[in-house]
Amino acid sequence: MIFCGNCEKRNGKIFLPYLKKYFCNACFIKIMRKRINRNIKHYKMLNNKKISFIFDGSAPSFVCFFHIFNLLGSRKDTSFTLLSTKKALKVAKEISKKYGVMVKEIKNLKLRKTKETIVLNDCLEDTCEKLIIAFAEKKLSLINEIKPRNGNLVRPLFNIPIKEIETLARLKNYNFLKYQQKNIYLNKINKVEEMRPGAKFSLVNLFESLF
């Protein structure tokens, strides 16, 4: 039996290669909670009483909603809206009924400056992908789409790997849809990550240090 690298008491089931440690389920959940809270606090992401979530049924969309709802859901002066894609609308309505939040179907997502905070689902892989495209294809306008906070648009999971987000979602019993890889550049950086665990973090940390 391999003991958890954090509590050193329970069975370590989840391996994080860049830390070279195994963690038990409970400690892994605590670590994820702290990392998301750090992002929210550091970038002052939730200074608004109207919060909307892009909800596409993916693990990041579940994690973003339930993490923030658990933080702020007891506040009577804060409203929550799920901006749901068509394929996730049924699940969004079930969440709405159970937790008393609003639902709006989105067909053509156009992110613009509004009075509400809009929570996006970008994970570490999305951030790396956009960074590579921005420089490799000289599309520097994408830089604004990578910032953890850009006006009313916030990305609480921007530096968290999709595998860890999906692991958290499974532990929480969320019935999520599989993450869809979007660009060929990500295949290359995934190969680098296999050889040098932590490469994705290094790339995003370098970008983060500029802002």
Comparing CA positions, the residue from 75, 121, 119, 120 lying closest to residue 100 is 75
* pTM of the complete model: 0.89
Comparing CA positions, the residue from 172, 78, 64 lying closest to residue 120 is 64
Query: Hey, what domains does the chain have and what are their CATH numbers?
Result: 14-208 (3.40.50.620)
Spatial separation of the C-alpha atoms in residues 196 and 198, rounded to whole Å = 6
**SS3 for 10-33, per residue?**
CECCEEECCCCEEECHHHHHHHHH
pLDDT string in tens for the chain (211-residue length): 899 999 999 999 999 998 999 999 999 999 999 999 999 999 999 988 899 999 999 999 999 999 999 999 888 889 999 999 999 999 999 999 999 999 999 876 666 557 799 999 999 998 888 888 887 777 777 777 788 999 899 999 999 999 999 999 999 999 998 877 666 777 777 887 888 888 888 888 877 766 5
Single-letter residue type at 78: T
